[in-house]
Amino acid sequence: MRHARRRIVRRGARFAAVGGLLCGGLMVTHAVASEPSGASRAQGSSAASAADTGSGLVARLGTDRAAGSWIGSDGRPVVGVTDAGAAAEVRKAGARPRIVDHSLRDLKSVTESLASAPRVPGTAWAVDYAHNEVVVRGDSTVSASDWSRMTKLADGSGDRVRMERTRGAFTTRLNGAQPILSSGGRCSAGFNVTDGRGDFILTAGHCGPAGSVWFSDTNGTRQVGRTVSRSFPGGDFSLVQYAAGQTGTDSNVVAIGGDRGVRITAAADPAVGQRVFRSGSTSGLRDGEVTALNATVNYPEGTVTGLIETTVCAEPGDSGGPLFSEGVALGVTSGGNGDCEAGGTTFFQPVTKALTALGVRLAGQQGAPAAGGQAAPAPSATQGAAVAPGAAAPGSVEPVGTPGTAETLVSRLTDPRNIGPGLLVIAGSIVALVATRYIRTEQDRSRYRRHYAQSWG
């Protein structure tokens, strides 16, 4: 009877150990699948390759034969062209041509006419390459008479213009991924940057004038820094110099919530059709698509030009927050309309233009301050392959702690989002299997010795 109980216990232990191995393997698989792998990040960087191919072809063909470029649903670059010869050149370069009616010069002439007209707060416009037209939007604050005047102006451009009324109002967005507060309101730390001598926060210019003092708490006891440079309106970016002079640990990581962050490796310009991500303290991590570049927005405070137009939602409390994709910095949140329930349009200040104007570079990168924007990461083995925009990921997601604190080994091993717990279960199961096997072997040896001793007795 005692031997039968022992066999049952041993078998139960073996089954439990095998089950632990299977469970641990599933945990590791889930952890690996839940975060972007190095391979997926490399594939996602093909968006930069597609953008470069498209913009290069537009520059080569000129504004009379080309009408802009964008990334298609299959990840390949698409170029609008006005004649068959240009289409043949685009095909030869590996991109897909689309013959359209209006050249880039025609479309830009429309935006120039709009910019020269009397300013109407609550309006915005941008070139829609995919539909070969300029889209003019008016929010709920635009009066019927102002909208009628703009419509008459657009009528002279024929089918080159599409007029749209939109819900809500185009406003600047306050707050963001890591909140910073001043007497003028609350904004977001976008990206950490440096000029080689000191460290700064790159954020939105509408957050406050030069000299604004920023804190990380509502009581105003923990000073973050002071605004030392600002562009708004016109552009929408500013520099906040750290009071301590240095950024501290994880200077090139942007928070995305849940004690996690994305490591930023470079800065670049996005492409129309590219999937992008924004982080903010109000609405968290959100994603969408770039719909236009060089957009103009007439905020109540003034006009801002050269913005990135996207479908990423944002709400009051998200301004200055970082826009990125595949670990590449793209912009800082400027403003928009709508919310994250009904959707809306959000505009971003391009990072490359801000870095160039301010003479700084992203923190954690080597070299001199930016003089003409920063290049995208070095091409990978998979770069250039067509990857659908929807397959893009934020970048290298990793746990982050409170600024200035180190993450312990125990917390990393016990975090279910990492592979640590799965490895611990696998290791424990292997130890249990070895132990049960060892115990059985020793019991067999004891029985053999007893039998041998009795046979000689």
Residues that are catalytic: 206, 236, 319
CA distances from 145 to 7, 104, 126, 241 (A): 90, 30, 22, 45
Cβ proximity of 299 and 172 under 8 Å:
yes
Residue 357's closest CA among 367, 369, 368?
369
| φ/ψ of residue 181, rounded to 5 | -125, 145
Q: Determine the 3-state secondary structure of 196 from DSSP.
A: coil
The answer to whether the peptide bond before residue 77 is cis (omega within 30 degrees of 0) is: no
CA distances from 358 to 103, 195, 235, 251 (A): 33, 9, 12, 19
Question: From CA 425, how far away is CA 143, in angstroms rounded?
Answer: 65
**Pairing state of beta strands 328-336 and 266-267?**
parallel
Q: Determine the 3-state secondary structure of 375 from DSSP.
A: coil
**Pairing state of beta strands 223-231 and 213-215?**
antiparallel
